[in-house]
Structure 1
Amino acid sequence: MERPLNCLNNLAENDWLIGYNSRKFNQIAQELYLELTQLSAYGILPKIILAEREPVRFLASFIAACAANCPVFLCNPDWVTQEWQQVFDLVKPDIIWGELPHSPTPPLPHSPTLSTQHGLNAPLPLTALIMIPTGGSSGQIKFAIHTWETLIASVQGFTEYFQLKQVNSFCVLPLYHVSGLMQFMRSFTTGGKLAILPFKAVETGKIFKIKQSEFLISLVPTQLQRLLQNPELTEWLTQFNTVLLGGAPAWNELLEKARFHRIRLAPTYGMTETASQIATLKPDDFLSGKISSGQILPHAKVTIRNQQGEILNSNQIGNITIQTQSLAKGYYPITRENQADFQVDDLGFLDEQGHLNIVGRNSDKIITGGENIYPVEIESAIQATQMVADICVIGIPDKHWGQALTAIYVPKKPNTSALKMQTLLKDKLSKFKIPKYWIPQQNLPRNSQGKINHQQLQQIAREFLQNRIT
């Protein structure tokens, strides 16, 4: 397995960073590595917060920290003061790389050891740990604890699945997030090329001249939707070898539109805890009409279990349980040792071909009048009316029904009628699946990966109902 410094040396003479200076990357990484090794000579392994805004400096700093075996926390420089306070209280960093315009005064340097949960867990040394943020959309930031080895396991599973020796990536996603970081890791460790460009630049047509057929690009559904609204960018997207799609559920209308334009889409399923995807539908299967999250990658195993933990047969819906070499070691500062099974909140089934199909999140399940409802089905039906630009269905407390279905949506046109949408849905959904409340908004609270902030949606719904009452 190639270590960070070996990969760095292998790429020393290559012009592998498109749009940026590859030599500058190498120089910054070497300089920071030397600084950190000088500290380690004195027995100091500083905890590093990495929030560099400039891509080359972010990635070079990341490699330097990994090479020097220093624990590094990847952070979003745009977090607000409250979020930074959470991070400082949790991490107590020794070094901060990057400018944090919204941060409170950082705490004094401090070096605690990792704590453990009684019975189930064992301590990990604080060295060589890579902390990747997750859970920000819920208002509470957590860090999944990864290592170089867990990230490499993900890369190896990916390259084996797609039968690639080198991975050329076109990255428009945040590098501090697992979806952006793993694009870098695939290119950096396989000797491939990496193009980095903010998505806003792509939207305005400021794109690098590359041979797309040799590159993979990763998008979230809202990004794909926006690119498909522009004929030139749609044509540009059709030239890519593979367009990986993840981060949030994609709706049927979006998938059909991508298939109509012959975009080589590869819907994926994965999460921060598994170092990105553990299931992916290959583009040829997608273009042939298959709808699923695809087969399980070689480094992972998925079972579907009932509430008693028993493994279910094909096409039976249950809780998704994952075993993978790329699994995080816990959430900082709690570590887990030899965690065999990782049960996620998602419900799904494996079909006869071994393809993973996602039904919805267990925690998103809405119970109204004794009926179990999964928002994904209703959101897809509403998207199919082509009257909304964005949609999220939630349940709000109701004294008669337990929960009342509520659609919070962004209308495509100012005069969009909720009544007309309800009429169109009557032939598509059972009566109890048609939302009771319809709340139009100018935009929905989503993070950069397209994930909804459900706390904010509940607040929007509460204020809407209060205004109706008053």
Structure 2
Amino acid sequence: MGQTLKALLHNRWGDDWLIGPSRQAFWQCLGQLSPSFAAYRESCTVHNPGVLIAEPDPLLFLATCLAAWSADCTVVLANPGWGDRDRHQMQAMVDPVWSNPLVPGMAAYPCRVLGAQPGQILIPTGGSSGQIKFAVHSWETLSVSVAGFCAHFGGGPVHAYCVLPLFHVSGLMQTLRVLTTGGQLVLQPYGDLKRGEVLPLPSGGFLSLVPTQLQDLLALGDEFGPWLRSFRAVLLGGAPAGRSLLDQAQAAHIPVALTYGMTETAAQVTTLLPEEFLAGNRSSGRALPHARITIFNDQGQSQPSGQTGRVVIQASSLAQAYLSLGEGIVVGNAHPTGVLGYGSCPGGTGSLVGSAHPTGSFATDDIGYFDDGGYLHIVGRSSTKIITGGENVFPEDIEAALLATGIVSDACVVGLPCDRWGQRLCALVVMDYPNLLPDLPERLRSRLTPYKLPKQWILVNHLPRTAQGKLSRPQSLALAQRILGLDG
């Protein structure tokens, strides 16, 4: 794991490691791009020239990213689907020159990231549903995550079937695990997979999905069952998975590995092993070797097993800083627990200031607890907490109960303004049989305490989600207010 990206690419040069895109086309493209980015770096007048990559073609995106990164440029990954609003944010943060692509016909543009270090890579953590923010990583932080993953699953070449976007940490890390360990990588649009166009991958590989994708594939019946069972693990993360979905996957003997992690941690820091999942465990698993996780209460005290609190992560895979706009420059700040969290300071520039020390700690927004076996359970997010009648409610708890009824296929709980309760619980639900909506309150009574029961119900055809399959709670709240006539 100690070799540089440049050395790794040199050692694997010409390997037949890509499935789907042409292996020859990849190496040819990389060979043509590498001198171009090296020359760009040498000729650029700024200290650390940046390259913003918004290329929609996965092969070109990957070749461009690796060529620019190995040339020690500062790489900024962008969602090719971002619209005008997102591009305006990007313009203010890194000042890309949209009119002057670095390579004709390819969506890679010169940009500036003030304060960046050579070879840093900026991975987006937002967009589409709100404020874009970047977690700033390096080859070293991402390599630590690769090593932790490999140690957790027992080493050897990692083969991966990637249907997730490469600009997202979940897609990028699959690529790095494969490159680093000598494995093979399938790159395929998810739509092609869903249509049954399955590509060959060596046995014992890994498939990464978000819950909505696993739900899609299981709904197609026996067509995908044997294929899903052929993987060493089906890594499931990015959003909470409903109990009914997990029970369905267990019944079908799918080797699901529930994961917990984020862009800031370079993907997962805990992972449940498939054999544990198939035995009925529904936690997020134990910590990977490179991470240490602690639960703290609001007074900064470490919590024992069974007690909930804020999840704090120590790992050398932690992002080195944030780049944000609107909130100002986001830097490492002292958290009440005595470890580093991320806060904001005044300002509106796109400068990159401050960092979390690689061996420091990250105070997440997540609320969770450890059981006696050392398995992490995530309860909800501090920022999504709803206070109703003086009681703290985590909407994820209610949503899980709704999905567990078996008659709700998707759910989002929001808090509406209320003079009496402070916030009134409102559940937006998607149901295959809408006539069963009146049954929901009664079905929840045995699963939830009374103050967690929604007081308002809205039946919808679908819920707004991000490109990564996560519920967009701000859009869901706006939808509820619009339906109820509360948006005026």
TM-score for the superposition, normalised by structure 1 = 0.91
The residue that corresponds to 1:379 in the other structure is 399
Residue number among 204, 207, 221 corresponding to 1:217 in the alignment:
207
Question: Does the 8 Å contact 1:160/1:298 carry over to 2?
Answer: yes
The residue that corresponds to 2:160 in the other structure is 169
The residue that corresponds to 1:238 in the other structure is 229
**2:128 paired with 1:127:** no
Structure 1 residues 81-134: Cα deviation after superposition (integer angstroms, max 9, x where no partner): 101111111111256569999x9xx99x664632xxxxxxxxxx4321100000
**2:456 paired with 1:466:** no
SS in 2 for 1:292: coil
Q: What's the CA shift for 1:138?
A: 4.5
1:96/1:411 CA distance change after superposition, 3 Å: farther
The residue that corresponds to 1:113 in the other structure is 114
Question: Does the 8 Å contact 1:302/1:322 carry over to 2?
Answer: yes
SS in 1 for 2:178: helix
The residue that corresponds to 1:23 in the other structure is 24
Name the amino acid aligned to 1:36: F
The residue that corresponds to 2:474 in the other structure is 455
Q: How does 1:114-193 map to 2 (within 5 A)?
A: 114=115, 125-136=116-127, 138-193=129-184
The residue that corresponds to 2:86 in the other structure is 83
Question: Does the 8 Å contact 1:131/1:144 carry over to 2?
Answer: yes
Q: Percent identity?
A: 43
Consecutive unaligned residues of structure 1, counting only runs of 5 or more, are 115-124
Aligned counterparts of 2:261 and 2:43: Cα–Cα separation in 1: 40
Aligned counterparts of 1:68 and 1:80: Cα–Cα separation in 2: 29
Question: Does the 8 Å contact 2:266/2:318 carry over to 1?
Answer: yes
Structure 1 residues 345-394: Cα deviation after superposition (integer angstroms, max 9, x where no partner): 10111222221111111111111111221112211221122222211111
TM-score for the superposition, normalised by structure 2 = 0.88
Q: What's the CA shift for 1:411?
A: 2.0
The residue that corresponds to 2:373 in the other structure is 353
Deviates most, 129-138 or 177-186? 129-138
Q: What's the CA shift for 1:335?
A: 3.0
Q: How does 1:88-99 map to 2 (within 5 A)?
A: 88-93=91-96, 96=101
Residue number among 433, 436, 446 corresponding to 1:427 in the alignment:
446
Deviates most, 431-440 or 196-205? 431-440
Q: What's the CA shift for 1:31?
A: 1.7
Aligned counterparts of 2:475 and 2:440: Cα–Cα separation in 1: 24
Aligned counterparts of 1:275 and 1:226: Cα–Cα separation in 2: 26
Q: How does 1:64-75 map to 2 (within 5 A)?
A: 64-75=67-78
RMSD of aligned alpha carbons = 2.3
Structure 1 residues 185-204: Cα deviation after superposition (integer angstroms, max 9, x where no partner): 10011111000111111111
Name the amino acid aligned to 1:410: V
Aligned counterparts of 2:101 and 2:316: Cα–Cα separation in 1: 30
The residue that corresponds to 2:14 in the other structure is 13
1:176/1:400 CA distance change after superposition, 3 Å: same
**2:32 paired with 1:40:** no
Name the amino acid aligned to 1:18: I
Aligned counterparts of 1:156 and 1:358: Cα–Cα separation in 2: 24
The residue that corresponds to 2:289 in the other structure is 298
Question: Does the 8 Å contact 1:52/1:97 carry over to 2?
Answer: no
Question: Does the 8 Å contact 2:318/2:356 carry over to 1?
Answer: no
1:350/1:112 CA distance change after superposition, 3 Å: closer
Question: Does the 8 Å contact 1:168/1:187 carry over to 2?
Answer: yes
Name the amino acid aligned to 1:25: F
Question: Does the 8 Å contact 1:173/1:179 carry over to 2?
Answer: yes
Equivalent pairs counted in the alignment come to 453
Aligned counterparts of 2:70 and 2:446: Cα–Cα separation in 1: 59
Aligned counterparts of 1:325 and 1:402: Cα–Cα separation in 2: 41
Aligned counterparts of 2:40 and 2:165: Cα–Cα separation in 1: 29
Question: Does the 8 Å contact 1:407/1:437 carry over to 2?
Answer: yes
**2:241 paired with 1:250:** yes
Name the amino acid aligned to 2:403: Q
1:82/1:146 CA distance change after superposition, 3 Å: same
1:98/1:84 CA distance change after superposition, 3 Å: farther
The residue that corresponds to 1:316 in the other structure is 307
Question: Does the 8 Å contact 1:144/1:330 carry over to 2?
Answer: yes
Structure 1 residues 228-263: Cα deviation after superposition (integer angstroms, max 9, x where no partner): 111211232111111000001111111111111111
1:453/1:97 CA distance change after superposition, 3 Å: farther
Name the amino acid aligned to 1:241: R
Name the amino acid aligned to 1:26: W
